[in-house]
Each structure stands twice: as structure tokens, then as C-alpha cells.
Amino acid sequence: MEKAKISASQLFILMVLFELGSALLVPLAIDANQDAWLAILLGMVFSFVLLLVYHRLYLYYPDLLLTEYMQKILGKVMGTVLAFVYILYFMYDASRVLRDFGEMLLAFAYPDTPLFIANALLMLVIIYTIRKGIEVIARSGELLFIFMYVLAVAGFILIVSSGLIEIKNLQPILEEGLFPVLKVVFTQTLYFPFTEVIVFTMILPYLNNPKKAKVTMLCATGLSGINLIITMLINVCVLGVSLTARSQFPLLSTVQTIQVADFLERLDVFFMLALVISIFFKICLLFYVAVVGTANLFKVKSPSRLSYPLGLIILFLSITIASNVQEHIHEGLKVAMVALHIPLLVIIPPLLLLVAFFKNRKEQRE
């Protein structure tokens, strides 16, 4: 752990950018058809429960990282192994997001460029940022957060003013009942993007005002949830369900349809800017957490030195995890959900909390 402090508002901004990250890119929860927004909303609400679990763990060990208190809770051997698994998960997730980024650029704007080049260029910037530490990430977050929101608001106004919104595309609501929506919630939206914020259990110890942690976490998830809901609502309203479901990047297609006053059109580049910003922060945070986790686990004195080797691993992993886009998306939605998200985000943290609870009660009695 480096000696650094971030404020509650910086944490808030980082969380929002993290959750928007690649979730803005994909047709989130589109398996629920026109009720995608409802699936996102419910996913957000249910994720609050897990968020409170993460926060409770933080309250027990306010100065320790997830990978550290794991060792206290479960003992040296078990804790170390599990901490290592979590670090691997963070790195895998970082490489997935990096791949998302590369695929977006290649599919849309750079068809002739190799994936490696696109990914490597972003990775270089990220490695540089990681070396500078969490405070720099947080400060650049503040700057770019404003820029992203200006883009988002401008885009929203343009879409509305070009008369593209067809509210009737959202009807009928709950055509097949609530069950399909709940299925999407528990297989997709609950984990991606909301409970991925388990990453922040590794960042919370840097918070200068621990009392604000809970409110900040809930508010940030709420805000990003609302943003994602609005995005999906607009996508479905503008494109209709079937086109949204067929799109690799529905928000891009939505932005492409903007035509205001015969000259405000082809604004795709603003979509790219917004996505590059949010993906940059998502990778940065996942990567940073992997770096501090590793440094802490293996007692490396200066964590920033780890950024080169780990960065290279993430870069190569992003190229090798899948041989094509479809495989990559399939892995993300089906394989990673069962193999990684459910055990690591939903099952283990509450178990940790349970053990921590009994352990602390015992200590208090003694």
C-alpha cells in the first residue's frame, strides 16, 4: 500500500466511471427485451445488498486491503491462496475490458490496425498512470468526469431534439411477466457492472474520511445505475429492441442516427471519446488494485515497479483470451459469470463477513 489519501468525492467519481466503463458499450441486459431498463434497475437495487456486505467488511478492517484482511479472517494459508485468486480475477477482468476497448476501436474505426497496437497504446498510458499512484488517477478522474458528463448531456439533448425518441418502443412492459427480467438480473446485471465494485474494497483504505464510505458507495452505484438505465432506455427507444439486440455497440448506433439541422450529424467520435475515458478508468482501477494486491501479498517494497510486468501480462492476456469477438463476448456473459462472478463477488464476501463477525465477537468477549 502506498501512502496516499483520496477524498470521498474522488471515490465517488472513480466508482461512477468504473461502473459506466464497458457497460456503456454493450447491449446491457438486452435479453430482457424492452424491459432491459427494469433489469438494470433491479440489478442495481439487489447489488446494494452486496455493497453493504463489502462495506461491513471494510468497517471491521478499515486500514486493510481485501487481500490483507482475507488472510486475517481465514488464516495465513487459505487467505493467501484466496487473495491470489482475487488478484488473478482483477487482472483477468482488466484484460477483458482492454479487449473490449480494442474490439470497439477495430470494429468501428481502425479495421486495418492490429489489435495488439490498439491495446498496447492504451496500456502504455495506463502503465504510466499506475506508476503515478492512486492520487493521480483520482485527480485525472475529476477532470475527465466533467468532460464525460458534458458529452453525455449534449448527446442526450441532441437525441431528444432530433426527435428520435419513440417511447412506444418500450411497450409492452413486462410482456412475458417478471420472470425473464429476474433471470437477466441474476445472470447478468447484478454482476456486470454493479457488484464488480468489489474492486473498491482495495481502494477504500485510502479514503480520508471513512464515515462517508457507505453513502459514497451507494450514491455512486445509484448514479451510474441511473445513467445506464437512461442509456438503455434511449437505445431501445431510438433503435427498437431487435436492432439494439443485434448491435455490438448499440450506443454507437444511437449516436450515429443523430441528425440535427442538417449539419449536426456523424457524432460518433464523441461516443468514442466518452468510451475511451470510462474504459481507461476501469482498466486503471482494476490494474491498480492488482498491483497493490500483488505488492502486498509478496511484500514488494515499491508497488509501482510491478506495473511493467503486470501491464505486459494484462496486455498479452487481452490478446489471447479469445480468438474472435463472439468468443470473447460468450466468455464474458456465460463462462465468467459462473466461474468468476458468482463465487468471487456473491458467495465468498458474505462468507468472509460471517467468519469475521464471529471472530470479532469472540475477541470482544475476551
Partner 1 sequence: MKRKGAFLLLMMTMMFLLTSCWSKKELTDLAIVAAMGIDRTGDGRYHITLQIINPGNVAGGLQGGGGGTQSPPVTIYSASGDNLVEASRRASRSISRRLYYAHTNLVVVGEKLAREEGINTLMDAFDRDPEFRTTATMVIAKHSTAADLVKTLTPVDKIPANKVLKTLEFTQRKWGENVKTSLQEVMQSLESPGRGTVVSGFRLVGNPQQAQRLDNLQESAPEATIQASGIAVLKQGKLVDWLYGKPARGTVWLLDKIQGTDININWEGKKEVIAYQTVRQKTSVSAQVKNGQPHISVHARVEGDIAEMEVPVDITDPKVITKIEQSVRKEIKKELKASIERAQKNKTDILGFGEVVHRSRPNQFKKLKSEWNDVYFPKLNVDITVEAYVRRAGLRNKSFLSGIKEKQK
Site of interaction with partner 1 (CB under 8 A): 107-113, 117, 121, 168, 171-172, 175, 239-240, 242-243, 246, 253, 256-257, 259, 265-266
Q: Which residues contact 1 (CB under 8 A, 6 or more apart)?
A: 65, 205, 206, 292, 295, 296, 303
Minimum CB distance to partner 1 smaller for 247 or for 304: 247
Name 259's bridge partners.
265
DSSP alpha helices (H): ranges in 109-173?
Answer: 115-132, 134-161
Q: Minimum distance from CB of 276 to partner 1 (Å)?
A: 14
Cis-peptide into 303, omega within 30 deg: no
User: Taking a C-beta distance cutoff of 8 angstroms, is the pair 8, 211 a contact?
Assistant: no
Minimum CB distance to partner 1 smaller for 9 or for 257: 257
Count of beta carbons in the 10 Å neighbourhood of residue 300: 14
Minimum CB distance to partner 1 smaller for 179 or for 211: 179
199 vs 359: CA distance, rounded Å? 24
| Three-class DSSP category at 25 | coil
Element (H, E) at 104: helix 76-108
Minimum CB distance to partner 1 smaller for 163 or for 365: 163
Minimum CB distance to partner 1 smaller for 243 or for 333: 243
Q: Minimum distance from CB of 195 to partner 1 (Å)?
A: 32
Q: Which of 231, 266, 264, 269 is nearest to 250 (CA)?
A: 231
Q: Minimum distance from CB of 245 to partner 1 (Å)?
A: 10
Place of cell 475511451: 276
179 vs 325: CA distance, rounded Å? 29
Q: Minimum distance from CB of 172 to partner 1 (Å)?
A: 4
Minimum CB distance to partner 1 smaller for 48 or for 110: 110
Q: Minimum distance from CB of 242 to partner 1 (Å)?
A: 5
Q: Minimum distance from CB of 239 to partner 1 (Å)?
A: 8
